[in-house]
Chain A
Amino acid sequence: MDAILEYIPKELITTLVTIAVVVGVTLGVISYLILLERKLSAWMQDRRGPNRVGPMGIFQPLADGAKFLLKEEVTPAGADKVLFYAAPGIGFMTTMLAFSVVPFGPVGVEGIPWFVRFLIAPDVNIGIVFIFAITSLSVYGVILGGWASNNKYSALGSLRASAQVISYEIPLGMSILGIALLGSTLDINTLLMQQTGSFWDWYFWTQPLACLIFFTSALAEANRLPFDLSECEQELVGGFHTEYSSMKFALFFLGEYAHVILTSFLTSILFFGGWHFPWIATPESAYTGAWVVKIGVLLFKVGMVIVFIMLLRWTIPRFRFDQLMNLSWKALIPLSLANMVAVMTVLQFGWDRWWLTPISLGLFAVAGLISVAMKRAEIRHRPSAAELAHQFAT
């Protein structure tokens, strides 16, 4: 055994093990996140949620999986078979690929067994760029799936969905640029380590506006409510996945959930200090099993973000398509640009970076004031109710 091991580099083994664990755990977690979401949704609506399969419905994901596997697969006549089959895979795979640069726990800490590693691809110093490049490819899954279905509704739905995803890619990327400038790196793990000094080193405190923009656009990227315009059940039968059935349909949703998990990881790592928590998990904490606690802290933060996303789902009403586009192009993109300019200014003139907090809040206030002024102007130029009544009467 040892003789064989000598010829196989240890790195290869750890990488393969990590990939297997990450893919397996992510898929398992996704199926139970769907159960959690269904339960939470039920509680928020004073229902009971799934409770028939096993105690408290804990075997519901298995039943769902079995159902998806056993259902009939329908391929519409006239569909482009190759693209039709490839689209769900593209959507799912691109999202899973992004996990290769996300640190799932403390990297490079003493006391971890050699076969445990929390990063599939270490030392990728353009981690953020890699994630955005890869996840933006997932729009191909949407648009190819919609087009290959040979269905007008699917094609319309996929056009709309891709317009949404592409629009929100811009604020998503630009909101992160501020942090990349502050940390002068694009490596996710380095950005994480920069926040482990103290509680006030978390980037959320200096970049609250960027956090809001990033979270909003990431929701839109993952097609989560209130931005689930790509999944237009009400208007276009079902959007781009109208013609998909059984496991191909399930793959689209696995992809969406993987995206939610990825978003939560990125939010907690980039803005909320990753595995760092004062007194409990710091780089200095050397007690036994500290690395397990650090994973726990990170997963706790990720879980909180996921639950928050689920809460938002039943809190905010869905956007109309023009409102969705207005939010991205008229609010988020200018705001993220201004935020980036503010970070550049602070860095260029060597000011204290705590100035960024009031600047962020000020930018937010200015945006609010501008929209109030614009709405007032619009109202002023609109005929008043009395004038309309007069027009109508004559």
Chain B
Amino acid sequence: MAVAKDDVMWIEEPEMGFWEMTFLPAILDGLKTTIRHVTHYDPVTQQYPEEKPSLPLHYRGVHRLNRDEKGRVKCVACMLCATACPADCISIEASAAPPDWPDRDKFPATFVLDELRCIYCGMCEEACPVDAIELTHIYDLTGETRESMRFDREKLLAVYDKTKDDPRDPLRTRRGKLGPAADFGTLPTVAPATQVTAGDRSAQSTAPGTIHTYNNPRPFDDPGGAT
């Protein structure tokens, strides 16, 4: 039995009158509609290369690596972004910070972000404790080779230099100064990319921000016991 009897609704076909049967009024009605579209022509098409779209402020485009007030890279090579990344597109090699950088232990010797692999979810931005990585408004990114779409540290810093004065690309999570991750819980985020409420699944997760990927099955402590 494919369909339950109670689910079937039988409908009487409406009877067609004389004028309906000749179809002429319907055709005239249709012509009126068609002509009205020509006389009240109002296209919504955007002429893309000439007219750029005005994107919402939370748009997530190409990444940038922010600089601190001394012009150094803000990143402290804590790997939180690479850990949070669901697409596994960030690879960081950390090394000890230069001795004249007293405020941190590590800095990224290399920081490569594959823009082709990225899904622009903004998790890295959320994860970063020092507001070093952010997503900008640049959406028309093209490249001639795959290699050219793998952005290294200098290229990501160059994106920052290009976009820092753009009103559409404010420092989204400005906490003033480069500091340890300790104040992450106390300072409110100024303009988070996405709002996380207490009811969200991610907020209720026992291990927030840690994602077990298929390609890179890193064992992690799971108090829930899903081993």
Contacts and interface: CB of A to CB of B under 8 A. Distances in A.
A47 B45 contact: yes
A252 to B, nearest CB: 26
A44 B5 contact: no
Interface stretch (A133-141, A142-150, A352-360, A386-394): A386-394
A133 to B, nearest CB: 31
Given A46-B44, A368-B21, A372-B17, A311 B34 contact: yes
Contacts of B41: 43, 46
Contacts of B22: 364, 367-368, 371
A12 interface: no
A131 B33 CA distance: 35
Given A47-B43, A316-B27, A384 B38 contact: no
B8 interface: yes
A376 interface: yes
A40 interface: yes
Nearest to A46: B43
A14 to B, nearest CB: 41
B100 interface: no
Interface string B16-29: 11110110000100
Interface residues of B, number: 27
Interface string A30-54: 0000000000101111111001000
Contacts, number: 63
A351 interface: no
A384 B19 CA distance: 24
A371 B5 contact: no
A320 interface: no
A300 interface: no
Interface residues of A, number: 31
Given A392-B5, A393-B5, A44 B37 contact: yes
B42 A46 contact: yes
A315 interface: yes
A385 B35 CA distance: 39
A375 B43 contact: no
B44 A379 contact: no
A115 interface: no
Interface in B27-74: 27, 30-31, 33-35, 37-38, 41-45, 47
A321 interface: no
B12 interface: yes
Nearest to A382: B13
Given A43-B38, A368-B22, A388-B10, A316 B30 contact: yes
A153 to B, nearest CB: 31
B21 A315 contact: no
A316 B25 CA distance: 12
Contact of B27 (A51, A315, A375): A315
Query: Which 3 residue pairs are nearest across A and B when measured between Cβ atoms?
Result: A385-B10, A315-B30, A368-B22
Given A43-B37, A315-B33, A316-B27, 4 more contacts: A368-B18, A372-B16, A385-B12, A386-B10
Interface of A: 40, 42-48, 51, 311-312, 314-316, 364-365, 367-369, 371-372, 375-376, 379, 384-386, 388-389, 392-393
Interface of B: 5, 8, 10-13, 15-19, 21-22, 27, 30-31, 33-35, 37-38, 41-45, 47
8 contacts: A43-B41, A46-B44, A47-B43, A48-B47, A368-B18, A368-B21, A371-B22, A393-B5
